Structure 1
Amino acid sequence: MTDHDQISRRTAVTAVATTAALLPFGATATARAAEPAAAAPFQHGIASGDPLPDGVLLWTRVTPAADALPGSGKGPATEVSWQVAADKGFAKVVARGTATASAATDHTVKADVRGLVPATTYWFRFTALGVHSPVGRTRTAPAAGTAAANVRFGVVSCANWESGYFSPYRHLAARTDLDAVLHLGDYLYEYKTGEYPALKYVVRPHSPGHEIITLADYRIRHGVHKTDPDAQAMHATHPVIAMWDDHEFADNAWQGGAYNHTPGAEGDWAARMAAAKQAYFEWMPVRPSTAGTTYRRLQFGTLADLHLLDLRSFRDEQVPVGSGRADDPGRTLTGRAQLDWLKAGLERSAAAWRLVGTSVMISQVAFGSVPAHLLGPLAEVLGLPKEGLAINTDQWDGYTDDRRELLSHLSDRSIGNTVFLTGDIHMAWANDVPLKAATYPSQDPVATEFVVTSVTSDNLDDTLHVAPHTASLPAAAAIRAANRHVKWLDMDSHGYGVLDVTAERTQMDYFAVSDKADKNATSAHVRSYRTLSGTQRVERADGPVV
């Protein structure tokens, strides 16, 4: 596969595009982008992603005609030019080029720009049909061999359109101190309107209204998400490093099917997955590998290597809770090639920190001590059958041989400073990661894990329809009592994380928004946890990094 460590405002626009201006950089967090004009060619915003020391990937989607809607297959091929500049006014253009937007790629275009200066902020824009796009801001990674003072990421996951507004994106867009935003999966959801959440709790209906199955369906759903003003602002302000989880395909997806896929009634699974992947790579600022997967590696000087996993394309089917098959060495979550790639990358890394983006939790967690009346709602949050819950077999807990091999690799080779970054579970966690949870804390952990909560997707209080931090408190207390390596757990908040990495420590600051159903939700710091270099343990920090 293509491995990144091997690969050596405001602007004047024509009148038709003035209403498509994005949130100006440095604006207050309460400002919002204007709705795009119907005739504007850049209705879906602009984006950058996958920063390298010498380059970055640029993205946009052009609407060349009124009927050239996402998924329509309509509209003429259109030439699109792009520019990258060292200044907002584009007096110092450092790179330029052209691409063609056509129906074959749903009129999306990408430009893989190289020849840029490391650790540098740039501005970019596209031009089509005589109209300039809004101006975007992006940033390259530190050069190989460079000891950067720090690197800072926004961290998000699980953004369900129908569950609320994407205020966490807006708050991240308002920050000027981020090197990139890491999206850990579930960028969108496949459900029909009113399935998740129930119809009476839908904040805003998505499109199409039915469950998405075909290429056109997935393209339409991606297009809807790219009209969200908060998403547009985030994408225009920071490069986004994205990986997928299951809902980019279907709930609890595996290589041969999904919990939310009925063969026959919903067609062939391989065709559905291929359609979902095609739409994802069209609409997201991501470089696909030659295998059509999102596992890849990015480097940030000598400070951090970021290993991103694909835990849906190669995994075996989830096993029923209590089946005894979670420990079967013949079953895999990662696939052999990806696990070998990860182990080799972690071992040869010379960076101060090894960051691993894993879409599902790697820490061992038992839920059996949770009060019985909360097991069903908790299973619903996790997308699991509600008849009982001892472990979540969609996580690494359901594929223990892969986890044992990976964690033993860290232990046997004394690979330190490994931090797993996780989404999926709609809760915030700070965990030590022991080789064997049963022996913790008598044996030292081999890594740590920071899990961020959802942008909007339902938490336990949403499922129970009760006030936050009421019914969840006994469940959180029971989980921590039964899992001593879990140092903190918030089952109710929605928001985002900010991960700050220095040579001395890696710290996750957790932020929560006031109300996911409020377009203008405020944001507040909740907790901070850090891992000091050489410890493989999490500890509470006094406050967020300034």
Structure 2
Amino acid sequence: MTIAASLSGRREFLRQVASTAVLGAGLAGCSSPAVNSAERTALQFLHGVASGDPLHDRVILWTRVTPPAETDSPEPAVYWQVATDAAMQSVVAQGSSTTSAARDFTVKVDAAGLLPGHVYYYQFAAEGVRSAVGRTRTLPRADVRQVRLAVFSCSNYPAGFFNVYADAARQNDIDVALHIGDYIYEYESTGYASSHAQALGRVSEPRELLLQLEDYRRRYAQYRSDPDLQALHAALPFITVWDDHEFADDTWRDGAVAHEARKHGPFALRRQAAMTAYHEWLPIRAPEPASLQKIYRSFDFGSVLSLHMLDTRVVGRDQQLMMSSYYDHQRHFDAEKFRHDVASPRRQMLGSEQMAWLEQQVQQSQARWQVLGQQVLMARMEYPQAIAMGQCSCTDYAALKRRAARDPAALGRHEQDWLAAATLPCYMDSWDGYQHDREQVFAMMQRHRKNLVVLAGDTHNAWASDLQDAQGRQIGVEFATASVTSPGMEGAYHERDPDDVAAMMVDLIAPLYYAQTSKRGYMIITASHEQVRCDWRFVDTVLQREFEAATERSLRTLPGPGNRRIEECAGSQPLRAASGADIDTIVA
């Protein structure tokens, strides 16, 4: 049995999705639903349809109804059907649900009684109005031969068009879409990456910073009015986790770096508002409906892979360390104390409950691959201490390494010290700032003899790294996706050759194998019993609706204790060597 639909059925469905997307673009281009509220006389499905969290016998179905401005039905009944054909003639499941303003008129149903490894179509109806048709699929049993996942992160609406979503919606062989965080951004309309928003017609709504439940709801409504996001949701089931921007920048368990309690109110109220809106607007099945913060959960794709979706952001994370606090009054950096603190067993990323849950899932899994779908980089992204401390530029350090290779006796004492010094982690929001938890995950995989692949987002750039524990033992690999729209490192080095920037990063960071620091895109993960392959696919622009997309790089890993490291795929070109471009600072 295969989990892909027939090619002819796929083409027919894509034609329907394309026509729906065109209609959605016209609606979104006129004005927001809120502006037209006084003119609406009939119920509408303005935000499309979606499915998510597929299991072997069920899947979450989602939509939202926009009621008329004045309605006698404050709790409209919404009917749903699941069929085996896009024309919705062969119905295999159906039911009804009510919704109301209490849940922002969103509808979520857990459609059960389905067959494993099958493609299904679904549709909603209310008050004589029908929604678009969506396409979904259930998880396969053990006889599946291959699984293909599309991986997304960091989709900032004002930063550009969702061309990445549009390209993914056109693919004919993706099984599931993974969104691993920053599905929305919480900034005010003049905030981060908004310089093109006015010209593109993508000014954030509401205009203010998101703080209250209604704020988050309005922002989700704006994102879900986007025709390309609607098309992707209609084409594929989603499996999602949140990162910080679904809440606030650099969120941790009890706060966020950008949240000021005096100005913004208690963080707990903001966190609850963000969680509520997330569960309303995303097709996610809450493992514990009474505890919305617990979103970690697993999905088994037959005997090929077990996907464990982690929350590295809210449920267990301690507050991030600040490197600036390790300088004394004479500006001397206490590197020893810093290294001690980042490795402290008291610092948690996952929390003890989630860590115990993950070990149980990994131990019980019979799949060839253990895949962690999570938010932030797990690989060691440590820089030479001289660079981290601002003692020399990247260019000078690279030149120093070349001089040392040619004539080590010619180096001065301080230059020798620079080369001999240990590296330092600099990005405290990633696993580098929570090293004990990282070692626990690595030890877990070693203990149970598992093949590990980590998927990450967050940084807006594409990376591939070997995962090694503190003793230098090879544990697995990490593939990290570029952003959907959020700008990457090209903004910091706009006068530099992006290939030089990426090559310099690979040269500076020992476990880093590949980097792409200037393009927007996503990953396609293809897993079989023989390998896990990652294809990085990029679009050439997010500032115009017309775009081109191409697969730029492909890497893979093989199973077994003698493998579990990154290697080239046939036809994939390695990044050219660094040319020594003048890169003065590292932006993690």
What TM-score comes out, normalization by structure 1 length?
0.86
- SS of 2:263's partner is coil
Task: Say whether 1:56 aligns with 2:59.
Answer: yes
* Residue 419 to residue 210, structure 1, CA distance change in 2 (3 Å): same
Corresponding residue number in structure 1 for 2:412: none
Distance 1:465 1:163 in 2: 17
Q: What is the CA-CA distance between 1:507 and the residue it aligns to?
A: 0.6
Task: Say whether 1:495 aligns with 2:560.
Answer: no
Corresponding residue number in structure 2 for 1:112: 110
Corresponding residue number in structure 2 for 1:86: 84
Amino acid at match of 2:370: R
Q: Which of 117, 121, 124 in structure 2 is aligned with 1:123?
A: 121
Task: Say whether 1:423 aligns with 2:457.
Answer: yes
Q: Which of 132, 151, 171 in structure 1 is aligned with 2:147?
A: 151
Larger gyration radius, structure 1 or structure 2:
2
- 1:234-285 Cα shifts (integer Å, max 9, x gaps): 0001001111000000000001110111111011100000000000000000
5 Å matches for 1:441-480? 443=473, 445-466=474-495, 470-480=496-506
Q: What is the CA-CA distance between 1:307 and the residue it aligns to?
A: 0.1
Amino acid at match of 1:289: P
Structure 1, 527-536 or 226-235: larger mean CA deviation: 527-536
- 1:161-213 Cα shifts (integer Å, max 9, x gaps): 11101111111111121111000100010001121025467642110011111
Distance 1:510 1:95 in 2: 37
Note if contact 2:20-2:132 (Cα within 8 Å) is conserved in structure 1: no
What TM-score comes out, normalization by structure 2 length?
0.80
Task: Say whether 1:347 aligns with 2:363.
Answer: yes
Q: Name the count of aligned residue pairs.
A: 496
Note if contact 1:23-1:33 (Cα within 8 Å) is conserved in structure 2: no
Corresponding residue number in structure 1 for 2:566: 538
- SS of 2:53's partner is strand
Q: What is the CA-CA distance between 1:516 and the residue it aligns to?
A: 1.1
Q: What is the CA-CA distance between 1:472 and the residue it aligns to?
A: 4.2
Distance 2:136 2:152 in 1: 18
Structure 1, 180-189 or 314-323: larger mean CA deviation: 314-323
Task: Say whether 1:165 aligns with 2:161.
Answer: yes
* Residue 500 to residue 31, structure 1, CA distance change in 2 (3 Å): farther
5 Å matches for 1:104-503? 104-143=102-141, 146-197=142-193, 199=195, 203=200, 204-290=202-288, 291-292=291-292, 293-313=294-314, 314-321=316-323, 323=326, 324=338, 325-368=341-384, 390-411=425-446, 413-436=447-470, 440=472, 443=473, 445-466=474-495, 470-503=496-529
- 1:349-385 Cα shifts (integer Å, max 9, x gaps): 110111101200111111347696989xxxxxxxxxx
Q: What is the CA-CA distance between 1:214 and the residue it aligns to?
A: 0.3
Q: What is the CA-CA distance between 1:23 and the residue it aligns to?
A: 6.1
Q: What is the CA-CA distance between 1:101 and the residue it aligns to?
A: 1.4
Note if contact 2:117-2:137 (Cα within 8 Å) is conserved in structure 1: yes
Q: Unmatched 5+ residue regions in structure 1?
A: 1-8, 11-21, 69-73, 376-388
Note if contact 1:367-1:479 (Cα within 8 Å) is conserved in structure 2: no
Distance 1:107 1:301 in 2: 35
Amino acid at match of 1:498: I
Q: What is the CA-CA distance between 1:464 and the residue it aligns to?
A: 4.2
* Residue 201 to residue 215, structure 1, CA distance change in 2 (3 Å): closer
- 1:16-37 Cα shifts (integer Å, max 9, x gaps): xxxxxx9635869997854349
Q: What is the CA-CA distance between 1:465 and the residue it aligns to?
A: 4.0
Note if contact 2:445-2:451 (Cα within 8 Å) is conserved in structure 1: no
Identical counterparts, % of pairs: 37
* Residue 316 to residue 123, structure 1, CA distance change in 2 (3 Å): same
Note if contact 2:80-2:123 (Cα within 8 Å) is conserved in structure 1: yes
Task: Say whether 1:504 aligns with 2:538.
Answer: no
- 1:366-420 Cα shifts (integer Å, max 9, x gaps): 1347696989xxxxxxxxxxxxx95111000001111111112222x15231100
5 Å matches for 1:63-82? 63-66=66-69, 76-82=74-80
Corresponding residue number in structure 1 for 2:415: none
Amino acid at match of 2:484: V
Structure 1, 451-460 or 287-296: larger mean CA deviation: 287-296
Distance 2:255 2:19 in 1: 44
Q: What is the CA-CA distance between 1:423 and the residue it aligns to?
A: 0.7
Structure 1, 219-228 or 30-39: larger mean CA deviation: 30-39
Note if contact 2:537-2:550 (Cα within 8 Å) is conserved in structure 1: yes
Distance 1:336 1:414 in 2: 19
Q: Unmatched 5+ residue regions in structure 2?
A: 1-7, 29-35, 327-337, 395-423, 573-588
Corresponding residue number in structure 2 for 1:380: none
Note if contact 2:139-2:300 (Cα within 8 Å) is conserved in structure 1: yes
Amino acid at match of 1:147: D
